Every structure is written in C-alpha cells, then in structure tokens.
C-alpha cells in the first residue's frame, strides 16, 4: 500500500492541480449556469463516475496504451469534444424551456437526474487527458517494494476522483447560486442558460483543436 507520506503528498498535488480552473471546472460552471445547482452537482457526480473506469484502465496497464497511441488518443478526444459541443448546443436550443409542474414534475425530475448523470459520465469517460494524467502521475507515488501495484494505483486514483468531486461540487454550488439571481427574469434566465451552453461548446471546440498530447 502507498505510505502515509506518499498519500499526503499525492493528495496535496491533486488539490493543487484540481483547484486550478481547467476543462473540468469550465464544464461544471457551464452546466450549473444552464441547469442550476442540481444539474451541476449531478454532472459532477456523473463525471466522477465516468473517471472510475479510466482509473481502472490505468491501474491495469490499458491506460498506457491509450496515452502512447496518438491515434487512440485523438479518436477518444474528438468523440469527447463532439459530445461537449452537442451538450452545449442542446442547452442553447432549450434555453427558453419552462419548468414542468404538478403531476409531471416528479417524472421530469427523475428523467433529468438520469440524463444528467449519463451525460456527465460520458464526458468523464471520453476525456483522454485524464488517462494521460494518471499514467504520468500515479506511478510516482506508488510504493513498488510493497507490491500490489494495481491496487495502490486504484487507491490513489480514487483519492484523486474524490478530491475532484469535492472541488467541482463547490464550483457547481457557487455557479448555481449565481444563476438563481437570473432566474427572477425569464429573459435573463434564457440568456444565462445560453451562456452556459456557449461555454460548453467553446470547451468542446478547444478540446478538438488542442494538440494530440496534453
């Protein structure tokens, strides 16, 4: 197992890297502006769940193949970028949608929950740069003399995912709270949802035109 010092050092490194606003933060802010705190938090949870298979892939050695293959990296990157653009366009298209009330509210809420989780999961699992990050960072904190390398890497990866979830959740809450002011006016609300969608589209475009390696 990783030593306590290694765990502490990895946690500190993960916090430093995660709190710096990056693609994940922009995605969460965009979703929170478009769909509120609940939508943002569900997106954060889905994104974290989507990262878990990537952690397992890196721990089992599959992640190294993706990280070293420009073709696989590019294919996954483009799929993720296209999906982000799609999500952003959907938010813009439906910026003026009203809330479902009365009998349909519960069913709508349940549907929205599953949709938000699924969308966040897809965004998380199609982020090849997460694989590259874990491939580059996790081995540096593994206690090789203790054996069980895959298990150690899984533990470190889970720690990073947990830290990422907590930090992104804070961004979701802050952005969702700011969105409440805009909700007082239908016109402002439509504008902020469109802005959130545009932010997600821009993130997808930025991912698509970025280099094959992070």
pLDDT 10s digits, 12-71: 888 877 777 677 788 888 888 888 888 899 999 999 999 999 999 888 887 777 667 778
Q: Rounded to an integer, what is the distance from CA 154 to the centroid of its chain?
A: 18
Residue 57 forms part of a structural domain: yes
Burial class (CB in 10 A: 0-12, 13-18, 19+), 193: buried
Model pLDDT, residue 212: 53
The single residue listed with the structure tokens 């993130």 is: 203
Kindly state whether residue 15 falls inside one of the protein's structural domains.
no
> Which pLDDT value is given to residue 117?
92
Considering the chain, what is the average pLDDT of its residues?
A: 80
- pLDDT of 97 higher than 70: no
Q: Is residue 6 part of a domain?
A: no
The model's confidence at residue 103, banded by pLDDT at 50, 70 and 90, is very low
- More confident position, 79 or 213: 79
Q: What pLDDT is stored for residue 109 in this prediction?
A: 55
How many domains, the chain? 1
What pLDDT does residue 104 have?
Answer: 39
Q: What's the N-to-C CA distance of the chain in angstroms?
A: 29
Q: Is residue 95 part of a domain?
A: yes
**What pTM, to 2 d.p., does this model score?**
0.77
pLDDT value at residue 53: 93
- Is residue 58 one of the residues assigned to a domain? yes
**Separation of alpha carbons 178 and 174, rounded Å:** 6
Residue 59 in tokens: 């721990």
110-168 per-position pLDDT tens digit: 558 888 899 999 989 988 778 888 888 888 888 877 778 888 889 999 999 999 999 99
Min mean pLDDT across 38-42, 106-110, 170-174, 191-195 is at 106-110
Question: Residue 115: CB partners within 8 Å, gap ≥ 6?
Answer: none
Asked if residue 14 is part of any domain, the answer here is no
With bands split at pLDDT 50, 70 and 90, how would you rate the model's confidence at 102? very low
In this structure, is residue 142 part of a structural domain?
A: yes
Q: Answer whether residue 2 is part of any domain.
A: no
- Determine the pLDDT at residue 144: 76
What residue numbers bound the domain in which 145 lies? 23-208
């Amino acid at each position: 197992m990783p030593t306590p010092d290694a765990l502490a050092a990895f946690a500190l490194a993960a916090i430093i890297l995660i709190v710096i606003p990056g693609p994940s933060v922009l995605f969460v802010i965009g979703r929170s502006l478009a769909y509120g705190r609940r939508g943002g938090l569900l997106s954060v949870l889905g994104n974290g769940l989507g990262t878990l298979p990537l952690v397992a892939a890196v721990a089992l050695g599959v992640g190294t193949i993706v990280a070293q293959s420009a073709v696989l990296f590019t294919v996954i990157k483009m799929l993720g970028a296209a999906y982000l653009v799609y999500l952003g366009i959907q938010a813009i298209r439906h910026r003026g949608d009203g809330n479902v009330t009365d009998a349909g509210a519960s069913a709508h809420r349940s549907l929205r929950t599953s949709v938000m989780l699924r969308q966040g999961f897809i965004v998380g699992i199609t982020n090849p740069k997460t694989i590259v990050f874990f491939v580059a960072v996790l081995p540096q904190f593994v206690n090789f003399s203790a054996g069980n390398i895959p298990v150690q890497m899984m533990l470190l990866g889970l720690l990073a995912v947990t830290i990422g979830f907590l930090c992104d959740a804070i961004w979701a809450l802050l952005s969702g709270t700011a969105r409440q002011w805009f909700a007082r006016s239908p016109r402002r609300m439509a504008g902020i949802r469109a802005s959130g969608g545009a932010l997600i589209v821009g993130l997808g475009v930025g991912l698509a035109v970025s280099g094959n390696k992070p």
